[in-house]
Structure 1
């Protein structure tokens, strides 16, 4: 209900308006009254009315002086001047003070009602704009961590807008990048039989576990690191270095970190990873060059002529080596994956055409290299479709694809093959939910991974993505294959298992760390999901 206050040194005017204003029709109530500007100022400060009707000529402080002080104090309500004098200078001052209306006495009640209706209508519109602005700011605050992550991904892959690169613009949390050197460690999860058979929710859980391990191990070795998922099975760890670190010391630390990551991920998750390291870059804008080199190194295990060094850790297939600057399309992969996931066939064709044009200008492009590219791109296709509930093998048997890839010898052949496949895939895709729903579920999964230790409910997330709770539950289950609560529990248990394996914390400490205050309940859930008691892990 709106609140209206009246200030006038004529008591009859005060009483007349108080009795005559149609309060119910206006959805308004009497907020207070005063006989002069000084008392009016005090009353307004105390009651904070939405509308003030005031005279100008009053003893002591006049109406304009009162209004000026109100504006200085950032009073945001509507002010209507009702004066017995029509004075141009007063009207000019009223305009400067953003008065809603300047009326001369006497005034009819229908006219006053009309003026009040307009003022209240303006207040309603302002309130709606303010609410929308608040909602927008809340959404921006909520999405800020995810926007920052996308910024890091773009900076690492080389897909940042030109305005960032030419203007040397860095978001506040990453401004220290301008004072450090940078090296990228490319991490590729080997898609063996076990990984290929994972459900989408299981795969998301493994990616979450890998990010936990990489961040924790990397921070033990280096003070400043950033981890980002790129596409399919590939992620990147950016290490920010002090310029005075010697090359030999750095190589030793990177080798040790790579071996540790390989061992930890194999030990905790039973996953095999391959690792490549790019060259150190002095400028943050050159980080994508290090990324390209890192993933080129991943593929160089059969190329003994590569610069740098080799390391095969504990019989694994992981290789740590330095890249040689050969064209490595990390940016191309990332852009193409985004186009496929959003079903933008024309955008995918444009990205492919531009990349092939650059590829044709490169020297030394062999059929083997083209076939390697085709194989990796097919893996990206499979992963992108897998994320939206489709299995690429159902459309194209592996043996047919292998034969087609083996016949690629020229860049143009690769272009034709890719565009044909994308066209066929796009025409046959059956989305399990539209893009808005896909984005909502992606947000939910990331939010769970970042806030699993807090009290998260489906209702809370429904409010954040502006979808009803019941409908969101259906969407989440359709796209992930399991309920929201089950997925949240599995994330918590996975993190708990990781903490228990470190043997640094007691069971009750681990339970609290992952969001459970009831230790017996945590132990019951842990055994249900892992088959063993948490105490058995730390023995």
Structure 2
């Protein structure tokens, strides 16, 4: 109900106004009245009406003085002036106090109703605007953690705008970066025969598992670390060491690289390659360490242990022909980002620049060109999957494999890639789902962080302001899975990791991932993994 207060020095006017206003039709209620500006001011301060109807000429305090004081107090309500004098000067002065209307007495009932309808419509529009603003601010608080994660990734790959590269623009959570040194460790999952059989959806779960393993292993040696995913098969640990001497630090980094390699192989049966970048004195040079980490892998620069694919970057090791970085991190990240937001022209330009750079190498073999095509297609495929588009409906795996096998020279590779990018960006499926991608990105990230909670689709529908039924359709269309199936797979994957650590009993693991009914948990576990929890532990 909209609250209306009336101030006039004539009692008959007050009574007549209260009788004449169609309260129910307007959805309004009377909250107070006064015979002069001073009493009116006190009454308004106590009742906080939405609309004030006031005369100008009153004893003790005039309507003009009362309005001036109200605005000084911060009163935001609407003010309508009903005066027995058509005084232009007073009307002009009243504009200073954001008056909604200035009407001469006497006033007809239709005119009164029309004025109040107009003012109430203004109030409703302002209220709707405030609600939208509140919803926007609320959504921003929900997305803030993801914005910070994107900031970390931009720093690590070198795409952060130059204007943000100073200490005053650091997010509050990362102010400690100013006092530390920094080094990155690149993690690349190797596409061996087993890995090539994995679906893109399975890759997503494995990457989630790798991030958990990497953070857990790293925290045992370096308390201050962050992890960020790059694209396709690559991830990155950002380490902020303490005051160790360089030799001691390098020994710890080598140990971390070996532990990462062993842990990922042991828990996930995925082969990995680890690269350790150079130590930097300032966070603005983190991207240099990232490029060095992956360059160390590509060049096989300095292998720290013969039984592990862990490589340490060294400045004095020269690059041999054919051993330059296959995919500079910044290029790969920019290409993935351009594909995600359907920037066809930018993606074409990135591909052309990259192929021109690769053509500078002498003696590129047919097999090398096809290997580049396969890896670049992997970057595109995974970046699209992250955004909710599975390419099976546009291109089959057999079709892509056949086309890649026909590529012989770099120019053919460039033409093939640009043709595929154009078809993807112009596809109805991509355009139709683009407006919902951000919502599903938020949902999947939220699931990965809160899988152990009592999580329902209704909970998330409240957070993204979309009805539960509509959200269910959006999620299924973009991910190819129902919300419950996706949540179950994430929980079971985490349960599998915990069981393989052999530190917890089956019922403890079940509760840790959100299941109180142990038989039901065991049934789901066997359905997804092919064995029950106790069989996994024994094996």
Question: In 2, are the aligned partners of 1:5 and 1:30 still within 8 Å (CA)?
Answer: yes
Shift of 1:289: 1.1
Question: In 1, are the aligned partners of 2:54 and 2:63 still within 8 Å (CA)?
Answer: yes
Residue of structure 2 in register with 1:118 after alignment? 118
* Counterpart-to-counterpart distance in 2, 1:312 and 1:157: 27
Residue of structure 2 in register with 1:240 after alignment? 240
* Counterpart-to-counterpart distance in 2, 1:258 and 1:335: 27
Alignment of 1:349-428 (within 5 A): 349-356=348-355, 367=364, 371=369, 373-374=372-373, 376-384=375-383, 388-391=389-392, 394=397, 396=399, 398=401, 401-402=404-405, 404=407, 407-408=408-409, 414-424=410-420, 426-427=422-423
Residue of structure 2 in register with 1:197 after alignment? 197
Alignment of 1:197-216 (within 5 A): 197-216=197-216
Shift of 1:295: 0.8
Shift of 1:395: 5.4
Q: Deviations over 1:288-320 (max 9, x none)?
A: 11111111112223xxxx3xx31247x45x222
Question: For the structure 1 residues 415 and 130, does the alpha-carbon distance in structure 2 shift closer, same or farther, using more than 3 Å as the test?
Answer: farther
Question: For the structure 1 residues 78 and 520, does the alpha-carbon distance in structure 2 shift closer, same or farther, using more than 3 Å as the test?
Answer: farther
RMSD (CA atoms)? 3.4
Residue of structure 2 in register with 1:264 after alignment? 263
Q: Deviations over 1:72-93 (max 9, x none)?
A: 4433211122234566775565
TM-score (norm 1): 0.85
TM-score (norm 2): 0.85
Which secondary structure state, in structure 2, belongs to the residue aligned with residue 280 of structure 1?
coil
* Counterpart-to-counterpart distance in 2, 1:61 and 1:502: 79
* Counterpart-to-counterpart distance in 2, 1:534 and 1:74: 68
* Counterpart-to-counterpart distance in 1, 2:180 and 2:208: 28
User: Does structure 1 residue 76 correspond to structure 2 residue 76?
Assistant: yes
Gaps of 5+ in 2: none
Selected match of 1:431 from 429, 432, 435: 429
Alignment of 1:320-331 (within 5 A): 320-322=311-313, 324=315, 329-331=328-330
**183-192 vs 341-350, which moves further:** 341-350
Question: For the structure 1 residues 473 and 434, does the alpha-carbon distance in structure 2 shift closer, same or farther, using more than 3 Å as the test?
Answer: same
Residue of structure 1 in register with 2:18 after alignment? 18
Shift of 1:132: 1.6
**59-68 vs 340-349, which moves further:** 59-68
* Counterpart-to-counterpart distance in 2, 1:174 and 1:115: 54
**115-124 vs 374-383, which moves further:** 374-383
**423-432 vs 477-486, which moves further:** 423-432
Question: For the structure 1 residues 393 and 520, does the alpha-carbon distance in structure 2 shift closer, same or farther, using more than 3 Å as the test?
Answer: closer
Residue of structure 2 in register with 1:4 after alignment? 4
Question: For the structure 1 residues 4 and 507, does the alpha-carbon distance in structure 2 shift closer, same or farther, using more than 3 Å as the test?
Answer: farther
Question: In 2, are the aligned partners of 1:32 and 1:47 still within 8 Å (CA)?
Answer: yes
Aligned residues: 521
Question: In 2, are the aligned partners of 1:7 and 1:36 still within 8 Å (CA)?
Answer: yes
Alignment of 1:421-500 (within 5 A): 421-424=417-420, 426-427=422-423, 431=429, 434-465=433-464, 467-500=466-499
Q: Deviations over 1:30-63 (max 9, x none)?
A: 2332334454344434443221112344454543
Shift of 1:452: 1.7
Shift of 1:279: 0.7
Which secondary structure state, in structure 2, belongs to the residue aligned with residue 132 of structure 1?
helix
Q: Deviations over 1:430-478 (max 9, x none)?
A: 7375222444333321121122233322233345445543343344334
* Counterpart-to-counterpart distance in 1, 2:52 and 2:535: 69
User: Does structure 1 residue 63 correspond to structure 2 residue 57?
Assistant: no
* Counterpart-to-counterpart distance in 2, 1:487 and 1:535: 24
Question: In 1, are the aligned partners of 2:183 and 2:280 still within 8 Å (CA)?
Answer: yes
Question: In 1, are the aligned partners of 2:352 and 2:414 still within 8 Å (CA)?
Answer: no
**139-148 vs 324-333, which moves further:** 324-333
* Counterpart-to-counterpart distance in 1, 2:90 and 2:508: 71
Question: For the structure 1 residues 15 and 509, does the alpha-carbon distance in structure 2 shift closer, same or farther, using more than 3 Å as the test?
Answer: farther
